[in-house]
Amino acid sequence: MLKRGFKIALVQMKVGADKAQNIETAVREIHKAKSQGAHIVALPECFNSPYGTSFKIALVQMKVGADKAQNIETAVREIHKAKSQGAHIVALPECFNSPYGTKWFPEYAEEVRVSGTVPERCGGALYNTCTVWDGSGKLLAQHRKMHLFDIDIPDKITFRESEVLSAGDQITTFEYQGVKIGVGICYDLRFSEMAHLMAKQGCSVLIYPAAFNMTTGPKHWELLAKARANDEQLWVALVSPARDTEAGYVAWGHSTLVDPWANVVAKLDEKPGTLLADVDLSIVEEVRSQIPVRVQRRTDVYDTVLKTKC
Ligand SMILES: NC(=O)CC(=O)C(=O)O
């Protein structure tokens, strides 16, 4: 029957935020086209997802103070603002509800799951935990900081999260509207193995709520974001609290978005503000196909393996 020609149907359908609705529309149109004699039916690119190849991310670099209710109010206001400006994903800084410091974590810890990154109390233990939620209030992911920030730089900064916090032991990734995203918290950024395992699980974007300081921030913040982006050929977003020079722990600020070529595409200074930018996922494929290190690894000689189950 196809020898002398055939009927093709090109379905120009509406693609919205509701994945199930998109699939229902596609199936209905396929059946309709078939009943009208179509031999081949084609759907648009990313017919199940509104992003196409890009989405908008908002990194909320907010002022975090001692007033927990005020911190939460600021976060909620900034989330609404970012959404009204078209953001699909909004990220808050590490410990957005609490001053960053081991003496504060027990007081500010939450037993119920709270969005963003907060000190979490679970039974007798405290964690530094990030949860991710979709627009309908469904929990998509929960990450407990896996690498605790225990450092000692004489005359500069000594910090020992392990005095009060327990470490998580899970790699955390989630899928939102067809995009696989990995989450790490602050010191986790320093561990290339963790980023590599998230990339191996299919991530195109890594988001790190973080709070580097005035010693490590200028030295390593941007360097590490670029390193992870370059190593794994994906997007890296770092979101910090704004700098408060009166605080016990002074955050570096400079929330940053780096593309898979390791270009810094957007960066804030130290003041409160929201970085709103497009994340173009086609660049992930571009870099990975042009510099194909992912398929050139000598996994016959070495490997990075996950030892806990996700
Ligand atoms: N605060 C952190 O967890 C990490 C940090 O400041 C650093 O690695 O430097």
pLDDT of residue 3: 63
The answer to whether residue 302 is domain-embedded is no
pLDDT at 44: 86
**Cα–Cα distance between 120 and 95 in angstroms, integer?**
10
* Domain shared by 32 and 160, yes or no: no
Same domain for 177 and 74: yes
**Is residue 14 a part of any domain in this protein?**
yes
Same domain? For 145 and 23 the reply is no
- In the set 130, 186, 222, 232, the catalytic residue is 186
Same domain, 24 and 162: no
Q: Is residue 69 part of a domain?
A: yes
145 classed as catalytic:
yes
Residues 179 and 217 in one domain: yes
How does pLDDT run along the chain (310 residues), one tens digit per residue? 556 789 999 999 887 767 788 899 999 999 999 999 999 999 987 788 766 689 999 999 999 999 999 999 999 999 999 999 999 999 999 999 999 999 999 999 999 899 999 999 999 999 999 999 999 999 999 999 999 999 999 999 999 999 999 999 999 999 998 899 999 999 999 999 999 999 999 999 999 999 999 999 999 999 999 999 999 999 999 999 999 999 999 999 999 999 999 999 999 999 999 999 999 999 999 999 999 999 999 999 999 999 987 6
CA of 202 to the centre of ligand 1 (A): 26
Same domain, 19 and 162: no
Q: What is the pTM of this model?
A: 0.87
38 lies in the same domain as 60: no
Neighbours of 246 (CB within 10 A): 6
Quick one: 62 and 87 in the same domain?
Answer: yes
Q: Is residue 310 part of a domain?
A: no
Token match 């908002």: residue?
58
Q: Give the CATH number of the domain where residue 72 resides.
A: 3.60.110.10
Q: Is the CB of 238 under 6 A from ligand 1?
A: no
Q: What pLDDT does 53 receive?
A: 82
**Protein residue with least CA distance to atom 8, ligand 1:** 187
Shared domain check, 262 and 194: yes
**Do 34 and 59 belong together in one domain?**
no
**To which residue do tokens 């002398």 refer?**
4
Do the domain assignments include residue 308?
Answer: no
Cβ–ligand 1 contact at 149 (below 6 Å): yes
Position 304 in a domain: no
Confirm whether 203 is a catalytic residue: no
Looking at the structure, tell me whether residues 120 and 32 fall in a common domain.
Answer: no
Give the Å distance between the CA of 186 and the centre of ligand 1: 5
What is the Cβ-side half-sphere exposure of residue 248, based on CA atoms within 13 angstroms?
11
What count of residues does the chain have? 310
Rounded Cα distance between 195 and 201, Å, is 10
Work out how many domains the chain is built from and give that number: 2
Q: Is 212 part of any domain?
A: yes
What was the pLDDT predicted at 50? Answer: 64
pLDDT of residue 231: 98
Q: How far apart are CA 139 and CA 132, in angstroms?
A: 6
Q: Which domain holds residue 223?
A: 54-296
Residue 47 has a pLDDT of: 83
Phi, psi dihedrals of residue 145, rounded to the nearest 5°: -45, 125
Predicted local confidence at residue 46, as pLDDT: 75
Residues 67 and 213 in one domain: yes
Q: Is residue 2 part of a domain?
A: no
Interatomic CA distance for residues 75 and 60, integer angstroms = 8
